[in-house]
Amino acid sequence: MSRPLIAMAVSGVIAVLLFWMMAAPDNDSGGGNGKEIEVTLYCAASNRAVMEEIRAKYEEETGRKVVIQYGPSQTLLSQLEIAKTGDLYLPADDSFLQMGREKGLIRETIPVARMQAGLVVQKGNPKEITSLTDAIEKKVRIVQANPDAAAVAKLTRKLLKKAGTWDTLDEATTAYRTTVTDVANDLLVGAADVGIVYDAVLHTYPDLEFVKVPELEAAASEIAIGMLEASTQPAHAMHYARYVTAEDRGLKHYQKHGFKTHPGDEWNETPELSVFAGSMLRPAIVDTIVAFKEREGVKVTRVYNGCGILVAQMKAGQKPDAYFACDTEFMGQVTDLFPEP
């Protein structure tokens, strides 16, 4: 999570909970009780190859353990809704995170990368498939993932229904598989001629080839990782989420696997934030900041003083990550120091 985003999160929490004194006991002590730290992630099958690399590096570097359950995005979401356990959820499309938010399952999210949907064929494209229409007209064997469970198929169905061509593709489809990787495996063993997949999935399939097609040009999925409301160890969950989205850690693996990544910060074991606040606000915000610090696993340095003095310090060159003023007049004097993220 970038410093501006974390700072905004602090601001949002305090704005909403300004008069709520959070004094809950700390149940996330960082493994001090001798128990092994273990984070549970529910992850889309399309991200399995890259996530296994990231998990191995993370466990080697930190000594912490990550348990990952892979599957179709919708199936995982349904499991989360029933079980209400776990720490993190990474579906193949952020629309599932939005559904999770609406169900009260997702606490916060961090963007990761982007994938493009298209066709998979044998290396060299022996059937010379250039579009979905071409594949249908040539009556080749077409395989898809389950549109009621897998993100790529759900996205394909939504897009083609809007275009009025879904029923034609549905009738021409030879078989539906559970996940997008099952589709790629069908092509690998010769059980199908064409499949619909994400481009990044094929990084570990050198004998297969991705074909961009006009019908699926708008079928792109944004990937983000979400923290679950059910997590009983949010600081540990956020630790892994930040590792996954760090430019010099998880994101370099995503790039290697052909994903188009979003900008990320460099890895920091424990991020540090600085907060300036008017002295009179201290009783109202101190407990909320402490709660935020414990939940996010960050350090927060707080400076309380008169708002005029704090403004003068900022104009002299000091730049905190967040500033809470007693009056909007003081906010207006330093708005240039806090650009939109």
Q: What is the pLDDT of residue 70?
A: 97
What span, in angstroms and rounded, lies between the C-alpha atoms of 156 and 135?
15
Residue 167: alpha-carbon gap to chain centroid: 32
Q: What is the pLDDT of residue 99?
A: 97
Residue ranges of the chain assigned to CATH 3.40.190.10: 1-25+270-341, 26-114+221-261, 116-219
Selecting from 3.40.190.10, 3.40.1180.10, 1.10.640.10, 3.30.260.10, what CATH number does the domain 26-114+221-261 have? Answer: 3.40.190.10
Selecting from 3.40.50.1000, 3.40.50.1580, 3.40.30.10, 3.40.190.10, what CATH number does the domain 1-25+270-341 have? Answer: 3.40.190.10
Reading the block at residue 252, the tokens are 């370099």
Encode pLDDT of 167-216 as tens digits: 999 999 999 999 999 999 999 999 999 999 999 999 999 999 999 999 99
Q: Which residues of 284-293 are buried (b: 16+ CB within 10 A; e: fewer)?
A: bbeebbebbb
pTM score of the predicted model: 0.81
The yes-or-no verdict on residue 239 having pLDDT over 80 is yes
Encode pLDDT of 283-335 as tens digits: 888 888 888 887 778 888 899 988 888 888 888 888 888 888 888 888 888 88
Q: Specify the CATH architecture of the domain 116-219.
A: 3-Layer(aba) Sandwich (3.40)
Report, as an integer, the average pLDDT of 97-116.
97
